[in-house]
């Protein structure tokens, strides 16, 4: 079955259009993925516990007899938000801002 030159052209064009379509689709998928990750990140940021006074996220949480250790002392903290979440659940936790020194009860702010 022989194609006329016009048919060949049309076929080529269609193929190129399809390829472009799939490329665009792939790009769109990538973009969606990035958007989703950004949204999750944003949500995590909003869940971050901040100092009510200075807004710093450099805070320490603990109660008597409970220390987060040297990582906290060094200001390297709250990586695992779940850890703080667990602390907050115990209610007796004081949170201290490492930046300005403000202290407040966990869950108060």
Per CB under 5 A, does 37 bind Zn ion? no
Q: What is the DSSP string of the chain?
A: -PPPHHHHHHHHHHHHHHHHHHHHHHHHHHHHHHHHHHHHHHHHHHHS---TTT--S-EEEE-TT----HHHHTT---SSHHHHHHHHHTS--EEEETTT--EEETT--
56 is a site residue for Zn ion (CB under 5 A): yes
Shortest distance, position 60 Cβ to Zn ion, whole Å: 11
Of the pair 20, 54, the CB lying nearest Zn ion is at 54
Which of residues 3, 53, 76, 81 is near Zn ion by CB under 5 A?
53
Q: Applying CB under 5 A, does 63 fall inside the site for Zn ion?
A: no
CA Rg value for the chain: 27
Residue 58 interacts with Zn ion (CB under 5 A): yes or no: no
Q: Which of 100, 103, 105, 107 binds Zn ion (CB under 5 A)?
A: 100
Q: Among residues 54 and 83, whose Cβ is nearest to Zn ion? A: 54
Tell me: does residue 109 bind Zn ion (CB under 5 A): no
């Amino acid at each position: 079955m022989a194609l006329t030159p016009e048919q060949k052209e049309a076929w080529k064009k269609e193929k190129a259009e399809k390829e472009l379509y799939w490329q665009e689709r792939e790009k769109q998928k990538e973009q969606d993925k990035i958007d989703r990750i950004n949204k999750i990140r944003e949500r995590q940021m909003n869940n971050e516990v901040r100092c009510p006074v200075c807004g710093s996220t450099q805070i320490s949480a603990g109660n008597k007899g409970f220390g987060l250790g040297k990582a906290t002392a060094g200001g390297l903290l709250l990586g695992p938000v779940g850890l703080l979440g667990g602390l907050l659940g115990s209610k007796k936790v004081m949170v201290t801002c490492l930046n300005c020194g403000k202290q407040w009860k966990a869950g108060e702010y």
